[in-house]
Amino acid sequence: MLTLRIEHKVTDFAAWKKVFDADPLHRKASGVLGYRVQRPVNDEHFVVIDLDFNERDTAETFVERLQVLWSSPAAAPALGGTPRTRILDTVEAADL
């Protein structure tokens, strides 16, 4: 499994979450298998999103679509700065 990790600042988490929940890029139809939204315990103006994919090219295409979305202030009103993305390959995982 591959994970697209997105990290960025937000100016207003509630406003950002409303757009995220509206799902403008149709995550499931775009190949996202699941996701996690996380925030550092000491920074309410920062989010980390993990989106899981089966295939690298699907994740890369999603990144391209995100970049288009992020370029529009109307579509990403609470974005604070330039998001950072990485596609991660799970090497090992365990539940303890």
Domain boundaries, the chain: 2-89
Q: Write down the pLDDT at residue 81.
A: 86
Domain 2-89 has CATH 3.40.50.720: no
The token pair that represents 95 in the structure block: 């539940």
Which tens digit of pLDDT belongs to each residue from 48-75?
A: 999 999 999 999 999 999 999 999 888 8
CA 22, CA 57: separation in Å to the nearest integer?
24
Q: Residue 76 pLDDT more than 90?
A: no
**Residues 9-60 pLDDT 10s:** 999 999 999 999 999 999 999 999 999 999 999 999 999 999 999 999 999 9
pTM over 0.75: yes
Burial class (CB in 10 A: 0-12, 13-18, 19+), 54: exposed
pLDDT band at 92 (very low <50, low <70, confident <90, very high): very high
pLDDT at 74: 82
